[in-house]
């Protein structure tokens, strides 16, 4: 059983109700950070008071802890603003010594807005492309274009833009506290909880800042937090008027605790709010946990969790008590956990009293510690191994190769699950009886005709009584999936047989007409009937005609033939074809007409045409015995894309 502990063991057992409340709000994305220079100090950058001393030292003065604004004024008066900017770039533009704390916030991805009085680029380095930095009013409207990025409001300017930096008295006089950025900050202060970090409660400038912030708010509904490692009673009393919740801790330690808490609860929080699962993908990946889930609206409908490192076990404590006397569900669960069964078990609240706790995977909680009971639980087996297999039908000469399969169970009772892009095939095998059962489900209409013919052909062959060989390097020799003819086929087996015949016909048509069909996502009943008719026709089944009309030249030989009472046979085959549309192709189908016991049935019209000396005669023939047919002419097959002449006869259909 795994214990629930933070990733850093030095924080184990740490308890602070204010910090835990802050963590809960951060997990829910309800907090903005207000960051001061102390937060960058751990990276090797000077704090505000240290910068003040540096400015004094540059002027040859001893450290006297002047307010930063006054020290900056003296420096500018002595050396000018350009020299001041150069000194700031030297202090805050150098390579940071550390950046882990900033990266921790970027990693957990739960802080939408960060407000800072710092000039340095630490947040930009840590967040990379996942942050948008705002230092001017005209940049603010563009933040709506970045819904998935953190917004950094640099209210005292950015080192990369010297004109934006606010540090001297003159800068503060020009500083517009009624700007668009400050209007945005005012709305954020009312909407979110705020945590002030990197500031010292002993700093008079901080008190002025807090006074200014609270003066902008008409009301506040959310708690505000102040993190400082030294908060004595005197300081606490001086700031009580702002109704702050103090967390007495240095910034780096506080962020470490917050980060570990968010990481631990990333899965639990995501189950309550699916959008957090998406935001936590980076957490899961870094922790070596694979999460696969489906959601509908604001609810997660299915989720599976597995460790990317098979050497790291998933542990939890499961306690249950029977609600039904027969104990069926209890036995199913035991069979699964002991390897006798390979099937998932779904346990409902009506079956068992369940208690699931202490579930962790690579430091991520898989159960909510506050929820001691679970109403429903699905336990799924984990595959023993994965391998590649071939399926082969020797009689129909069909073979599917290199299929990815998951193997569950043991040699005595094994389940093989093939999850192909086109289908799911589950094969249950008994090693003792050398028997197998097959469950097949297609995911969609297959667009590749030849592959579809192989897939449906194999399943249909098994259903019709043919044995299928299962071949894999993971098995000792081929495993024969024996079958027997199903006396009363189900709707599913009939459908598979129909699909196999249809794809078989399509494959034959592709070969005959030298085309490749683009199969749509849905095949209509009309299209299925067209495929069946054309396939039967080109394979020799004739279509009976009631009559046939032809146009011939008005020649002496034709008139002599018509003078006879009957014509025993009639055969027309030269350049006769019709266009047959199927999916995205126009097939040019050649045919011939053959009839016996024939006679013309429009003699009066023919005689009138002869007397008018018409150039052509239109003759309508009919068989007295009904032996008049239209047949496929394989000798005249041409490519479907070749354009030919119009058809030369009109035939009456039998119906």
**Residue 137 confidence (pLDDT):** 84
| Cα distance between residue 100 and residue 521, in whole Å | 50
**Residue 313 confidence (pLDDT):** 61
Q: How confident is the model at residue 584 (pLDDT cuts 50, 70, 90)?
A: confident
Look up tokens 């009943």; give the residue: 525
- Nearest CA to 592 among 570, 566, 614? 570
Query: Exposed, middle or buried: residue 339 (CB in 10 Å: 0-12, 13-18, 19+)?
Result: middle
**Residue 358 confidence (pLDDT):** 60
Task: Transcribe 329-378 into DSSP letters.
Answer: HHHHHHHHHTTS--S-EEE-TTTEEEEEEEEEETTEESS-TT--B-S-EE
Two structure tokens written together for 517: 């069909």
| Cα distance between residue 384 and residue 533, in whole Å | 48
Torsion angles phi and psi, residue 430, rounded to 5: -105, 115
Look up tokens 């023993």; give the residue: 384
Two structure tokens written together for 540: 């020799």
Return the C-alpha torsion angle 159, 161, 164, 169, nearest 10: 60
Q: How confident is the model at residue 649 (pLDDT cuts 50, 70, 90)?
A: very low
Summarised one tens digit per residue, pLDDT across range 404-447 is 998 887 666 778 889 898 889 888 876 555 567 788 888 888 88
**Residue 369 confidence (pLDDT):** 62
User: What are the structural domain ranges in the chain?
Assistant: 9-43+100-263, 46-95, 298-379, 385-503, 542-653
| Cα distance between residue 494 and residue 505, in whole Å | 16
| Cα distance between residue 169 and residue 42, in whole Å | 28
Two structure tokens written together for 550: 């032809």
| Axis-axis angle for helices 449-463, 491-513 (nearest 10) | 140
| Cα distance between residue 625 and residue 272, in whole Å | 78
Summarised one tens digit per residue, pLDDT across range 108-136 is 989 999 999 999 999 999 999 999 999 88
Distances from the Cα of 620 to the Cαs of 352, 548, 550, 594, in angstroms? Answer: 82, 6, 7, 14
Summarised one tens digit per residue, pLDDT across range 242-256 is 778 889 888 889 999
| Cα distance between residue 425 and residue 459, in whole Å | 10
Two structure tokens written together for 598: 């024939």
Summarised one tens digit per residue, pLDDT across range 34-45 is 999 999 998 999
569 CB contacts (<8 Å, ≥6 apart)?
594, 595, 596, 598
| Cα distance between residue 314 and residue 586, in whole Å | 59
499 CB contacts (<8 Å, ≥6 apart)?
442, 452, 456
Judged by DSSP in three states, 576 sits in: coil
- Angle among Cα 325, 330, 331 to the nearest 5 degrees reads 105
What rounded mean pLDDT belongs to the chain? 82
Summarised one tens digit per residue, pLDDT across range 168-198 is 999 888 877 667 888 888 888 888 999 999 9
Least trusted range by pLDDT, from 52-56, 346-350, 478-482, 616-620: 346-350
What strand order describes the sheet that includes 193-197? 131-134, 150-154, 113-116, 31-35, 193-197, 224-228, 244-248
In three-state form (DSSP H/G/I as H, E/B as E, the rest C), the secondary structure along 121-137 is CHHHHHHHHHEEEECCH
508 sits in which H/E element:
helix 491-513
The gap between the terminal CA atoms of the chain, to the nearest Å, is 77
Tally the C-alpha atoms within 13 A of residue 585's C-alpha that lie toward its C-beta.
22
Cα torsion angle, 138, 139, 142, 143, sign: negative
**Residue 15 confidence (pLDDT):** 55
pTM: 0.55
Cα torsion angle, 368, 372, 374, 377, sign: positive
**Residue 465 confidence (pLDDT):** 83
Torsion angles phi and psi, residue 571, rounded to 5: -140, 120
- Nearest CA to 405 among 456, 477, 314, 475? 475
Torsion angles phi and psi, residue 483, rounded to 5: -145, 170
Look up tokens 């209007």; give the residue: 183
Torsion angles phi and psi, residue 373, rounded to 5: -125, 145
9-43+100-263 topology per CATH: Rossmann fold (3.40.50)
Two structure tokens written together for 600: 């013309």
Task: Transcribe 72-113 into DSSP letters.
Answer: HHHHHHHH-HHHHHHHHHHHHSSPPS--HHHHHHHHHT---E
């Amino acid at each position: 059983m795994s214990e629930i502990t933070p990733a850093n063991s030095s924080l184990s057992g740490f308890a602070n109700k204010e910090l835990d409340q802050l963590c809960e709000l951060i997990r829910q994305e309800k907090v903005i950070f207000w960051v001061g220079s102390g937060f960058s100090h751990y990276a090797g950058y000077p704090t505000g008071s240290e910068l003040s001393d540096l400015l004094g030292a540059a002027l040859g003065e001893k450290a006297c802890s002047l307010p930063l604004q006054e020290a900056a004024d003296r420096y500018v008066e002595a050396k000018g603003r350009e020299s001041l900017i150069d000194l700031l770039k030297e202090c805050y533009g150098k390579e940071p010594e550390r950046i882990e704390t900033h990266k921790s916030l970027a990693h957990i991805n739960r802080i939408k807005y960060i407000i800072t009085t710092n000039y340095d680029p630490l947040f930009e380095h840590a967040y990379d492309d996942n942050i948008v930095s705002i230092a001017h009013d005209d940049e603010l409207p563009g933040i709506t274009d970045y819904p998935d990025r953190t917004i950094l409001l640099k209210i005292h300017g950015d080192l990369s833009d010297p004109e934006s930096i606010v540090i001297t008295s003159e800068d503060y006089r020009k500083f517009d506290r009624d700007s668009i950025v400050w209007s945005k900050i005012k709305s954020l202060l009312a909407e979110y909880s705020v945590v002030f970090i990197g500031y010292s409660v002993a700093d008079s400038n901080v008190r002025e800042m807090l006074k200014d912030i609270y003066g902008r708010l008409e009301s506040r509904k959310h708690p505000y937090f102040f993190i400082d490692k030294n908060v004595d009673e005197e300081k606490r009393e001086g700031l009580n008027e702002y109704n702050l919740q103090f967390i007495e801790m240095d910034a780096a330690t506080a962020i470490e605790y917050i980060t570990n808490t968010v990481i631990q609860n990333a899965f639990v929080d995501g189950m309550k709010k699916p959008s957090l699962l998406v935001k936590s993908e980076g957490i899961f990946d870094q922790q070596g946990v694979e999460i696969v889930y489906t959601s509908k609206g604001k609810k997660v409908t299915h989720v599976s969790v597995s460790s990317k490192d098979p050497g790291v076990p998933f542990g939890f404590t499961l306690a249950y008590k029977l609600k039904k006397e027969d104990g069926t569900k209890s036995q199913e669960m035991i069979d699964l956990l002991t390897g006798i069964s390979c099937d998932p078990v779904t346990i409902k609240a009506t079956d068992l009293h369940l208690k699931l706790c202490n579930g962790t995977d690579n430091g991520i909680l898989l159960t909510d510690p506050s929820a001691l009971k679970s109403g429903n639980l699905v336990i799924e087996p984990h595959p023993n191994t994965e391998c590649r297999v071939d399926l082969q039908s020797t009689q129909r000469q069909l073979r599917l190769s290199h299929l990815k399969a998951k193997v569950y169970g043991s040699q005595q009772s094994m389940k093989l699950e093939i999850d192909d892009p086109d289908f799911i095939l589950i094969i249950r095998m008994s090693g003792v009886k050398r028997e197998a059962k097959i469950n097949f489900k297609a995911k969609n209409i297959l667009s590749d005709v030849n592959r579809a013919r192989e897939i449906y052909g194999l399943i249909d062959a098994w259903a019709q009584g043919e044995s299928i060989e299962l071949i894999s390097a993971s098995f000792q020799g081929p495993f024969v999936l024996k079958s027997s003819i199903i006396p009363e086929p189900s709707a599913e087996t009939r459908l598979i047989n129909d699909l196999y015949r249809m794809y078989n016909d399509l494959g034959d048509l592709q070969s005959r007409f030298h085309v490749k069909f683009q199969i749509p996502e849905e095949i209509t009943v009309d299209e299925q009937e067209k495929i069946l008719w054309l396939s039967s026709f080109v394979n020799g089944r004739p279509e009976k005609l009631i009559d046939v009309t032809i146009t011939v030249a008005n020649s002496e030989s034709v008139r002599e033939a018509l003078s006879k009472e009957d014509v025993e046979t009639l055969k027309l085959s030269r350049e006769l074809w019709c266009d047959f549309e199927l999916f995205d192709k126009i097939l040019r189908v050649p045919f011939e007409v053959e009839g016996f016991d024939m006679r013309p049935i429009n003699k009066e019209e023919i005689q009138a045409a002869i007397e008018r000396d018409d150039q052509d005669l239109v003759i309508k023939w009919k068989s007295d015995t009904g032996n008049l047919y239209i047949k496929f002419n394989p000798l005249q097959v041409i490519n479907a894309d070749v354009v030919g002449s119009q058809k030369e006869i009109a035939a009456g259909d039998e119906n």
